[in-house]
Structure 1
């Protein structure tokens, strides 16, 4: 009987083993599929200048309830640049866009110096070389692309994803590249940057956009009614107003994010979208806690829009990644040195809750003679005890800088501390949602954001750089061509390549080549990253397609 049972047991085990061998490929493939990172879409949301205190204060302001981003908190980001502990927005944005740390003021190009820990040195001759962005890798893969910001569109962060130049203040260059880089959706401020009156090159880039099939909308109603697939929404001459100050005809961050997702998600190949809460940073520079809180909450509403879409779509990664912190803000100041551990919420919140506008929005309420300052501060901020010194400071505030005066006045009453009006160098929060749980976690570098985006989209930054940004002089000379530059007009430089009967002109910042007078479109823009006054032929970069035009 025991022998029979033993034989039966062996037979049963053999059947189980055989069955498991037959099934194992299927089981293994399920495991692989579950762990696969690649998705169709990525939404990267950047709350500029946002530290942990910024989000903590915003939570208390809304009653202590969680922010939308809280549920996807996953780690911390190290924000330093290639040669400094505290990062400027240009290299910080560039790091997240390209996977390379860079130098203050540099947009989408390598730095001159890389001497911080864990940063590779820059090979000689590669300084200021343009490097591809995650937006450009997505575009080459056939995906739709979009940028949303509350600053003017060529400001440091949005510019870092769609342009390349070592001078963040050169809006003429950055904005032209962004127009010719064929981003499908751009929603921000900065209408004047595209007009001949503002531009040194006198080009009408609004006309260029319309000729290229873009809708150009100027207000919330026009954005809502837009039905096409390519749009630039420009909702202010320069930066958009703070959310606390905006009217109904100016779209919120959440509205812009929702519209961008609606348009971009029509593309069957997927999309990449960057959304920046630009003016959290600006409020921090001004030490304006009302601006900080209301901008964080407006940004978080956009995060909710992105997460709601991603959870329903099940093929979208959402990343929330501040570029750096700002202001050294603290909940509690030196006035509470002896009582800090006994202070209730009522110590901090009433002066913040009383505000009906930010310091910037308040400026329009003060008359030209500045005789109504006490009345304005009482009505719009609930401040009935304004001192003579504070009144004088408001009276003497520079135009456009009132928030730098009002912010500290409110901070003092709310016991919000600040250490600086500049950026700070500590780590910032990282938040990631992946439909299959393959999240970026732990303490990571800002450059890891770009690398992770490429992992989940199945794209390659180095290969895209090789495709879009070859050193033109070297590449064309290897084909026996002569390379010169027409620099008569410093605002409209042209690279000229000639061989035999072929002459090709490559206008700086554009995606076109003019071959013996005939215009040919290129997959990327021609970049000159050198000095406009002293032309360096080695600093011109063109795509592989451009080089292939010379036979």
Structure 2
């Protein structure tokens, strides 16, 4: 072959691979045979640690081993063989690197859609979301999350919408659907005072017979009624777990993911036709985007506590399928080698505040000594004078409005400084195309195969309860 022809052919081959529809297509092994199912499930609890790279799962487990001497629930059930395990390809219809809307829609609608869309294909076609399918056969359904309940992952199980950004519209879609339990943040999308159109979406839910909870006590009180529940506990996302643990007021007013999960199960478990619940640790993803290691580790542990609540119920119940996974990796964090790696990683044991808390306390007139004291108070170590300058130089000249802008804060720079004291670093500040962890327990778990595409889980859920289409 001539050298010129070789390069021409190689280029064509490379281009063909880049555009190959096989990379973005729906799963080719989603056709599950009912003969493969030993026992049908009555209930499904689908748990998503949003944006969980393998390093996130690892560091949370290492933190628990070095603080309380035990594995995380997730890893312990790998160790004892209770969980069936798979790797999952998370690509969307438009990219090898998915966003949460498309990632969730692969599970919710069973078809890969472009990034940004909720169960809406590239040509505008709608794919019926899975909670609508389950509601149609009589099951109670719901979602709980630590980010706005209208956010991409819960919405992907519930609605069709051309854009994940249409959160005010998604709040109204939830009202139309009348699902049984919806809890998380996002008051700005329901409140007449905060919505641009001044529509009181809460009033619509009240008229529809819902309990409306805005505090932990209000959520717990809903257990005394048979009404469906809408719980909204913050304006936007709920606080990071590490900040929640160090603030008594937050602890009294804002429920944890595990507490929301327990209430949701108790609200729906009496259904004669069963229930389906999605549980999302949404702040895991937000912490990864921010390269906020203390936020990340503690929120992954909080997710693990919710997993334990769900698993304990499933073991006792005997009729519940547990699926636990993530929609994509994010930021590829990890604990890295160093002469004091163990000692430095142990700093997370005594930290009280997230990196985000530090960023939120930056202001234009902050003195170097004040920043040093702020970090020492919240995180237990003193950074160098040169490192203080890096942060203060970044925010110098910013207006008070700009200082409230998440994207203008030196999250990445602070994370790089953090690594000098904790040995925890990040590869990026965005989603990755990594294959991710997926596990299952209970009736229907036998359907899980060792390597799947994300769309597989849609059909697996349907087949596990005996629905064939």
TM-score by length of 1: 0.70
The correspondence for 2:105, drawn from 82, 94, 102, is 94
Aligned partners of 1:95 and 1:101 also within 8 Å: yes
Deviation beyond 4 Å, 4+ runs, structure 1:
32-35, 363-368, 394-397, 402-405
Question: Does 1:258 pair with 2:266?
Answer: no
What's the counterpart of residue 135 of structure 1?
131
Looking at structure 2, the residues matched to 349 and 172 of structure 1 have their Cα atoms a distance apart, in angstroms, of: 41
What's the counterpart of residue 6 of structure 1?
none
Question: Does 1:52 pair with 2:48?
Answer: no
Aligned partners of 1:331 and 1:415 also within 8 Å: yes
Note the C-alpha offset of 1:172: 2.1
Superimposed CA distance per residue, residues 297-339 of structure 1 (whole angstroms, 9 cap, x where no aligned partner): 000000000000000000000100100000022321xxx5xxx
Moved more, 42-51 or 152-161: 152-161
Looking at structure 2, the residues matched to 295 and 405 of structure 1 have their Cα atoms a distance apart, in angstroms, of: 22
Matches within 5 A, 1:16-31: none
- SS of match in other structure, 1:221: helix
Matches within 5 A, 1:402-421: 403-421=411-429
Aligned partners of 1:137 and 1:459 also within 8 Å: no
RMSD: 2.2
Question: Does 1:286 pair with 2:310?
Answer: no
What's the counterpart of residue 95 of structure 2?
84
- SS of match in other structure, 1:267: coil
Superimposed CA distance per residue, residues 225-284 of structure 1 (whole angstroms, 9 cap, x where no aligned partner): 222231111000111111111221210000000000000112111001000000101111
Aligned partners of 1:324 and 1:425 also within 8 Å: yes
Matches within 5 A, 1:306-317: 306-317=310-321
Superimposed CA distance per residue, residues 156-183 of structure 1 (whole angstroms, 9 cap, x where no aligned partner): 1111111111211111222211221111
Note the C-alpha offset of 1:348: 4.1
- SS of match in other structure, 1:169: coil
What's the counterpart of residue 388 of structure 1?
386
Superimposed CA distance per residue, residues 451-502 of structure 1 (whole angstroms, 9 cap, x where no aligned partner): 10001122355xxxxxxxxxxxxxxxxxxxxxxxxxxxxxxxxxxxxxxxxx
Note the C-alpha offset of 1:200: 3.9
Note the C-alpha offset of 1:41: 0.3
Structure 2's unaligned 5+ residue stretches are 1-33, 78-82, 245-249, 396-402
What's the counterpart of residue 120 of structure 2?
109
Q: Which has the larger radius of gyration?
A: 1
- SS of match in other structure, 1:63: helix
The correspondence for 2:215, drawn from 219, 230, 242, is 219
Question: Does 1:318 pair with 2:322?
Answer: yes
What's the counterpart of residue 451 of structure 1?
459
Note the C-alpha offset of 1:346: 1.9
Moved more, 315-324 or 397-406: 397-406
What's the counterpart of residue 180 of structure 1?
176
Change (3 A) 1:356 1:442: same
Looking at structure 2, the residues matched to 189 and 57 of structure 1 have their Cα atoms a distance apart, in angstroms, of: 26
Question: Does 1:147 pair with 2:149?
Answer: no
Change (3 A) 1:437 1:367: closer
Looking at structure 2, the residues matched to 53 and 73 of structure 1 have their Cα atoms a distance apart, in angstroms, of: 20
Change (3 A) 1:456 1:256: same
Looking at structure 1, the residues matched to 110 and 140 of structure 2 have their Cα atoms a distance apart, in angstroms, of: 21
Higher strand share: 1
The correspondence for 1:362, drawn from 336, 358, 361, is 358
What's the counterpart of residue 68 of structure 1?
73
Structure 1's unaligned 5+ residue stretches are 1-31, 113-126, 462-551
- SS of match in other structure, 2:448: coil
What's the counterpart of residue 239 of structure 2?
241
Superimposed CA distance per residue, residues 86-141 of structure 1 (whole angstroms, 9 cap, x where no aligned partner): 1111100100111111111001212x2xxxxxxxxxxxxxx121111221111000
- SS of match in other structure, 1:245: helix
Change (3 A) 1:395 1:148: farther
Aligned partners of 2:40 and 2:443 also within 8 Å: no
Change (3 A) 1:297 1:399: same
Note the C-alpha offset of 1:380: 1.4
Note the C-alpha offset of 1:352: 2.6
Change (3 A) 1:192 1:390: same
Aligned partners of 2:148 and 2:237 also within 8 Å: yes
Moved more, 297-306 or 398-407: 398-407
Aligned partners of 1:394 and 1:405 also within 8 Å: no
Higher helix share: 2
Aligned partners of 2:415 and 2:425 also within 8 Å: no
Looking at structure 1, the residues matched to 430 and 334 of structure 2 have their Cα atoms a distance apart, in angstroms, of: 14
Matches within 5 A, 1:395-544: 396-397=394-395, 398-399=403-404, 401=406, 403-435=411-443, 438-461=446-469
The correspondence for 1:42, drawn from 44, 62, 65, is 44
Note the C-alpha offset of 1:344: 6.4
- SS of match in other structure, 2:128: coil
Note the C-alpha offset of 1:287: 1.0
Aligned partners of 2:64 and 2:72 also within 8 Å: no
Aligned partners of 1:191 and 1:238 also within 8 Å: yes
Note the C-alpha offset of 1:399: 2.1
Looking at structure 1, the residues matched to 434 and 442 of structure 2 have their Cα atoms a distance apart, in angstroms, of: 26
Change (3 A) 1:234 1:460: farther
